[in-house]
């Protein structure tokens, strides 16, 4: 894959995944409460860069030690487990409040 295509697809994927998530809501609240958007932006940007670096380094290490097909299955399974867990928690919260 060409570097520019990879850059574009990575940007688009992360940008869309981050829209409206708890990190964005946290930065929105921090900016509103502090009234100082620049330090909040810099802190949030550095945090996202740091977590992305961890993801890249872990992904690079995993690609050397785990077959791509196995890695895809593990990632898919993890997403399913997290989805069921979070969805179940939300459902229990909703049913518990009724």
Distance CA(22)–CA(70), nearest Å, equals 30
pLDDT digits (tens, 9 = 90+) for 36-54: 999 999 999 999 999 999 9
CA proximity to 42, closest of 50, 62, 12: 50
Residue 40, Cβ neighbours under 10 Å: how many?
A: 19
What residues does each domain of the chain span?
12-65, 68-98
Say what the alpha-carbon torsion angle 67, 87, 26, 57 is, to the nearest 10 degrees. -10
Distances (CA, A) of 41 to 47, 53, 71, 97: 10, 18, 33, 36
Using a cut of 0.75, tell me whether the model's pTM lies above it.
Answer: no
pLDDT digits (tens, 9 = 90+) for 51-90: 999 999 998 998 899 998 998 999 899 999 999 999 999 8
């Amino acid at each position: 894959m060409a570097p520019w295509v990879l850059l574009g697809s990575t940007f688009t994927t992360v940008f869309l995944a981050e829209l409206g998530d708890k990190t964005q809501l946290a930065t929105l609240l921090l900016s509103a409460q502090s009234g100082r958007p620049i330090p909040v932006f810099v802190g949030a940007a550095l945090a996202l860069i740091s977590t992305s670096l961890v993801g890249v380094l872990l992904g690079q290490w995993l690609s050397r030690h785990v077959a791509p097909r196995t890695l895809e299955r593990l990632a898919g399974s993890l997403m399913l487990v997290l989805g069921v867990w979070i969805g179940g928690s939300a459902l229990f919260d909703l049913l518990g409040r009724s």
